[in-house]
Amino acid sequence: MRNQDLTVKEIEGKLQYYCSYQDRCHKEVKAKLKSFKISSDELNEIVSNLIKDNYLNESRFSKSFVRGKFNIKNWGKVRIVNELKLRNISIYNINLGLKEIDDQDYINKLEDIFNKKLSSLSNLNSNLKKKKIISYLLYRGWESNLIYSKVNEI
């Protein structure tokens, strides 16, 4: 059965499953719906039904996104915010998601990542160590003022 042969209810069922096994943002769901080649009215109807039935919730998405990227990928707030903005998440939901990160956990995670990276660079001179640590942490999205204060401890 091809995507064009599905009814609106069948497509909605597929999207309910798509949203139930992982939190999704509106942008991901709309991109998935566009692959079914349906009209914009049908697309909007399906999205509103998913929201009404609580399959699609951007507040829940932003919270789980922040927790996952912080705890698993060790991303800092800068990178998390940028990724959420790429997904067209509102500032309100971004701030709501960032509240999932405890300030002390944030500092402890930076300390752990910093020490792990520092120990992996033991055979380099001090300036090269600093440069590599700074670029590593900036890429991961940690705030530059926190990075530089840690690097100055070397």
pLDDT value for 83: 97
3-state secondary structure the chain: CCHHHCCHHHHHHHHHHHHHCCCCCHHHHHHHHHCCCCCHHHHHHHHHHHHHCCCCCHHHHHHHHHHHHHHCCCCCHHHHHHHHHHCCCCHHHHHHHHCCCCHHHHHHHHHHHHHHHHHHCCCCCHHHHHHHHHHHHHHCCCCHHHHHHHHCCC
One domain, residues 89 and 115 = no
pLDDT value for 1: 44
Q: Give the domain extent around 142.
A: 103-151
Over residues 21-56, the pLDDT tens digits come to: 999 999 999 999 998 888 889 999 999 999 999 999
Number of domains forming the structure of the chain: 3
One domain, residues 71 and 86 = yes
pTM: 0.89
